[in-house]
């Protein structure tokens, strides 16, 4: 089977990014871009991001997760600590996040180090989730091989019965990670493939250098 995609082309013409107008802290630019995209270029989920990890087998693996919070310190998402990504992070905390917002013709690539957040923060977020999502987190032994979907649905029914009329506690194997960035690159599509690329590199705590890169 072969599919020739050489004619798939798009001209990027919706914006520009200059070194002079970029703030000194990349988190300020991230916040500005995120809210601008969310307000003016609505997508299904602006907070959807790809996280890439290095697995125990030495191969990289990428998947989409949802960003749930960001601060000057980093980017927070939640997952099952026993999942493939959880085990990969435990073995090698160096990860890469990426956002692609096609409506705004923008991309952000983030290199960073992932670490678990506090139990209090994980508890607070878990309590804010819909009950169905809480049950789903408790039921799923994420990334494990299962015989069929009925196996999951039976586990869900059993857990619903177990916690009927009660609050569902956060499973100890489920919680948040914060990715603390060491490098952030902002990409703005431009005509003729001469895209704007600004890369920030962390030198010391909250002290960043920035440079323009060739496209």
Selecting among 31, 193, 199, 212, the annotated active-site residue is 193
Whether residue 69 is annotated as binding a ligand: the answer is no
Query: If we measure between CA atoms, which residue out of 135, 123, 128, 120 comes closest to residue 166?
Result: 135
Whether residue 101 is annotated as binding a ligand: the answer is no
For the chain, the three-class secondary structure string (H helix, E strand, C coil) is CCCCCCCCCCCCCCCCCCCCCCCCCHHHHHHHHHHHHHHHCCCCCCCEEEEEEECCCCCEEEEEEECCEECCCCEEEEEECCCHHHHHHHHCCEEEEEEEECCCCEEEEEEEEEEECCHHHHHHHHHHCCHHHHHHHHHCCCCCCCCCHHHHHHHHHHHHHHCCCCCCCCCCCEEEEEEEEEEEEEEECCHHHCCEEEEEEEEECCEEEEEEECC
- Assign residue 165 a region (left: φ > 0; alpha: ψ between -120 and 50; beta: otherwise): left
Whether residue 210 is annotated as binding a ligand: the answer is no
State yes or no: is 106 an active-site residue: no
Whether residue 65 is annotated as binding a ligand: the answer is yes
Whether residue 133 is annotated as binding a ligand: the answer is yes
Whether residue 187 is annotated as binding a ligand: the answer is yes
Whether residue 179 is annotated as binding a ligand: the answer is no
Whether residue 149 is annotated as binding a ligand: the answer is no
Whether residue 32 is annotated as binding a ligand: the answer is no
Whether residue 163 is annotated as binding a ligand: the answer is no
Whether residue 197 is annotated as binding a ligand: the answer is yes
List, as residue ranges, the binding site for substrate. Answer: 9-12, 68, 125, 129, 133, 193-195
List, as residue ranges, the binding site for FMN. Answer: 63-68, 78-79, 85, 107, 142-143, 187, 197
The residues carrying an active-site annotation are: 193
């Amino acid at each position: 089977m072969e599919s020739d995609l050489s004619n798939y082309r798009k001209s990027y013409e919706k914006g520009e990014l200059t070194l002079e107008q970029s703030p000194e802290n990349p988190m300020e630019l991230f916040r500005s871009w995120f809210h601008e995209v969310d307000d003016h270029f609505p997508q299904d989920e602006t907070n959807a991001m790809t996280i890439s990890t290095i697995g125990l087998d030495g191969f990289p693996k990428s998947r989409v997760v949802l960003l749930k919070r960001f601060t000057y310190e980093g980017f927070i998402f939640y997952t099952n600590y026993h999942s493939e990504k959880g085990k990969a992070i435990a073995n090698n905390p160096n990860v890469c996040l990426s956002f692609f917002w096609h409506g705004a013709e923008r991309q952000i690539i983030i290199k960073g180090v992932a670490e678990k957040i506090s139990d209090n923060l994980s508890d607070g977020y878990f309590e804010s989730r819909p009950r169905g999502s809480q049950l789903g987190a408790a039921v799923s032994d994420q990334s494990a091989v299962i015989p069929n979907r009925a196996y999951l649905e039976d586990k869900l029914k059993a857990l619903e019965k177990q916690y009927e009329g009660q609050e569902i506690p956060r499973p100890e194997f489920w919680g948040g990670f914060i990715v603390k960035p060491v490098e952030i690159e902002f990409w703005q599509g431009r005509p003729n493939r001469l895209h704007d690329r600004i890369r920030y590199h962390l030198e010391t705590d909250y002290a960043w250098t920035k440079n323009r890169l060739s496209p």
